[in-house]
Amino acid sequence: MSKPCDVKLKNYDISEEVGFLLEDPLEKLPEYFEPWNKLSSAMPELVLAGIFREEVKKIPELADGKLANNKELRLAHLQLSIIGSGYIWQDGDKGVPKMIPRCIAVPWYNVSKRLDIQPILSHPSFCLANCKKIDPERPLSLENMKSTYKVPGGDSCNWFCIVTGAVELEVANSLKPILTILNGVQNGDTEVVITNLQNLTSVIRQLKTVVSRMHDNLSSELFYNVIRPFLAGWGGEDSPMPDGLIYEGVENNKPIKALGGSAAQSTILQTIDAVLGIKHKDEKEKFLKLMRKYMLPKHRQFIEDIENLPRQLSEMVLTTYNDELKKVYNSCIESVTQFRSYHIQMVTKYIVIAASKQNSNKEFESLSKKGTGGTNLIPFLKGLRNDTKDTVK
């Protein structure tokens, strides 16, 4: 008798319609939090004017206990992360403060603890909680999407956010095939697995098409010199804050290290890796596991529960005599390899080549050719791709 797999989307705050994106996120917090509403909205202009830090110091310390529900917490984390990023990076590498004032630090830290994510501008906030319908009567799509909060970069920053959001939206199309594959594997239903591996492969190929839209309205120079610095983290030998950042009034003013926004903080590829049984070696696996701390807890649990299912797709393929199953599995692996290759091309254009140009922003030299998540980018990404390629059965 067939036994359904107990991985259900509703248990993980994942939507059939929009995937890992937050459905209909708030644009503003209640009136009590108006100082956060105003500062986070005005951050790009005030940073460019060089007066953002002074404005931050003027606001009162608000009680995060007044945030009433998950959507308010998600927006608060986004707003405080935008404010924190502007405060830290207003003057580039050379002018970074060692401490962020308690009026921001205390609620930022508390909200992060309540959500169980890190106190930094990261993918769950800047992308997942920041993509809103332009026309509420129409479905969410790249053409019907805006980012509510931005870092400096104007329309290009909006484009960066919504294309990233559109990739997440496309991933929603993979969820039904993924769940059906998991069920098929638990029940030994080869035909179901074959059909849905083909469906999953189609979605993964489409992801590349969506990512390629980034080229339409985002130049590598603007991304590298203007947007990317505000997604950086703190702590580590190459950081202008090697010991981390002091959040005033938090953890006895002991510096906290945090990694910046990174594609590795998206649940997408780690979920696909878990379904297909793609294993990464040594330091790469260690880094990807670390990135899960930057995901929402239910999203990271989704990956872990897939990894811990009693029967795994990779074992099914390894022990099968069905040539068609092996063929479609290997085709799916190949689509992931191609997607990772395309990601390397994007990173080469937007970071590596941009960093080598003479007009690259010298105010943020610490970022150079590293990822905002702190990795030496190209060797790391090539390693992930090679691990994927090696999974072929």
Give the pLDDT confidence score for residue 1 in this predicted structure: 44
User: What fold, for 9-389?
Assistant: Methane Monooxygenase Hydroxylase; Chain G, domain 1 (1.20.58)
Q: Give the start-to-end residue ranges of the domains of the chain.
A: 9-389
- One digit per residue, the tens of pLDDT, for the chain of length 393 reads 455 677 899 999 999 999 999 999 999 999 999 999 999 999 999 999 999 999 999 999 999 999 999 999 999 999 999 999 999 999 988 889 999 999 999 999 999 999 999 999 999 999 999 999 999 999 999 999 999 999 999 999 999 999 999 999 999 999 999 999 999 999 999 999 999 999 999 999 999 999 999 999 999 999 999 999 999 999 877 788 889 999 999 999 999 999 998 889 999 999 999 999 999 998 999 999 999 999 999 999 999 999 999 999 999 999 999 999 999 999 999 999 999 999 999 999 999 888 887 565 556 565 554 555 545 788 999 999 999 999 987
Identify each DSSP E strand in the chain by its residue range. 99-100, 131-133, 145-147, 246-247
* Angle value at C-alpha 182, between 180 and 185, nearest 5 degrees: 105
* Cα separation, 386 vs 381, whole angstroms: 9
Give the pLDDT confidence score for residue 3 in this predicted structure: 59
Q: At what angle do helices 268-276 and 190-212 cross, to 10 degrees?
A: 150
* Cα separation, 313 vs 309, whole angstroms: 10
**Has 343 been labeled as part of a binding site?**
yes
Give the pLDDT confidence score for residue 199 in this predicted structure: 98
Residue 143 neighbours by CB under 8 Å, 6+ apart: none
